[in-house]
Amino acid sequence: MEKESYTNLTLGPVLFNWAPECWRDFYFRMADEAPVDTICVGEVVCSKRAQFFAPYLTDVVERLLSAGKEVVLSTLALIMNEREIALVREIVENTDFLVEANDISAAALLKGRPHAIGPFVNIYNEDTLAYMVHNGARRVTLPVELSASSIATLTKSVPAELEVMVFGRLPLAISARCYHARCHNLSRDNCQFVCEKNPDGLDVDTLNGEPFLAINGVQTMSHTYCNLIGDLSALLDLGIGRFRLSPHSGDMARVAKAFRAVLESRMAPEEANTIITEETGSMPISNGYFHGRTGATFEGIPADQTEAR
């Protein structure tokens, strides 16, 4: 596939259980201040949370559209019962917006119409990617574990719009069990929505007290924050034209501006990296998967990338 002639910055869906008003105000601010092209909206992690955000969804979508943003509706990453498949079916059947499937059953419901595939669907080889594109996927966010060499193979296989997550805690797994509830001696059915206490996920340590992972309700995430700001040039060279930021409680407008500035050659990656590490605070950053190494490692910014392209 020829190298992409565009660069699109995407804001993925909020994966955490934020207070509904905070969730609404976050998207309002992103509409007004964040230099992103596409914004994904929708509950992906836990269907029980959706009821709290639903009253604000119309206002959020209208605000985003009025700001000139493309709106994508994201669906659940794990569908386990009739109620949840009905929730996804309602989204699929009652919208003209592009819908992002994060579960293979949602992809089946979208078959035959243009749609997007989210990072929760495992696409690791050319045949799987070709199958998804044949069924109507026009945009695919690749799994977060892929290395540069794997991404290069996929970009050459079919002329689809491929997207890579470049910022945020990586979504690693999702389960029927709610880890957050178990930590508080609660069941999933009576979780009391304790995940709202951790707006960026709950840190998990090993028995030796070493930082390991993070949990977000039923979701397992990386402890580190993915940061591919120094790898944008390499991704462009591989043929990637879409870059996804995953929302966190820091200043996401500032993070988006840093990524946009590097993509437009107005800022050196090292300078942008300073901004991003300020927003992640004391949390470590990583880019190991992209470099074919342990995911939690950070390879730094290559010497030939310290100047803006």
Q: Output the 3-class SS for the chain.
A: CCCCCCCEEEECCCCCCCCHHHHHHHHHHHHHHCCCCEEEECCCCCHHHHHHHHHHHHHHHHHHHHCCCEEEEECCCCCCCHHHHHHHHHHHHCCCCEEEECCHHHHHHCCCCCEEECCCCCCCCHHHHHHHHHCCEEEEECCCCCCHHHHHHHHCCCCCEEEEEEEEEEEEEECCCCHHHHHCCCCCCCCCCHHHHCCCCEEEECCCCCEEEEEECCEEEEEEEEECHHHHHHHHHHCCCEEEECCCCCCHHHHHHHHHHHHCCCCCHHHHHHHHHHHHCCCCEECCCCCCCCCCCCCCCCHHHCCCC
pLDDT at 210 over 60: yes
Q: What percent of the chain has pLDDT over 90?
A: 84
CA distance 62 to 71: 9
* Token pair of 36 as six digits: 């992103």
pLDDT at 305 over 70: no
CA distance 134 to 121: 16
Looking at residue 157, what is its pLDDT? 82
Compute the mean pLDDT over every residue in the chain, rounded to the nearest whole number: 93
* Mean pLDDT computed over 278-299: 92
Is the whole-model pTM more than 0.85? Answer: yes
* Mean pLDDT computed over 208-236: 95
**Of 117-121, 217-221, 243-247, 281-285, the least confident:** 281-285
* Mean pLDDT computed over 286-296: 94
* Mean pLDDT computed over 207-234: 95
What pLDDT, in 10s, does the model give residues 243-261?
A: 999 999 999 999 999 999 9
Give 90: exposed, middle or buried? Use CB within 10 Å, 0-12, 13-18, 19+. Answer: exposed
Looking at residue 306, what is its pLDDT? 44
**Of 2-6, 79-83, 146-150, 179-183, the least confident:** 2-6
Domains and CATH numbers, the chain: 8-169+226-305 (3.20.20.70)
Label residue 2 by pLDDT band (50, 70, 90). very low
**Of 72-76, 171-175, 220-224, 296-300, the least confident:** 296-300
N residues, the chain: 309
Label residue 73 by pLDDT band (50, 70, 90). very high
Looking at residue 303, what is its pLDDT? 57
pLDDT at 304 over 80: no
Nearest Cα neighbor of 246 from 39, 98, 25, 7 is 39
What pLDDT, in 10s, does the model give residues 101-147?
A: 999 999 999 999 999 999 999 999 999 999 999 999 999 999 999 99
What pLDDT, in 10s, does the model give residues 151-197?
A: 999 998 877 899 999 999 999 999 988 989 888 888 888 898 999 99
Looking at residue 93, what is its pLDDT? 92
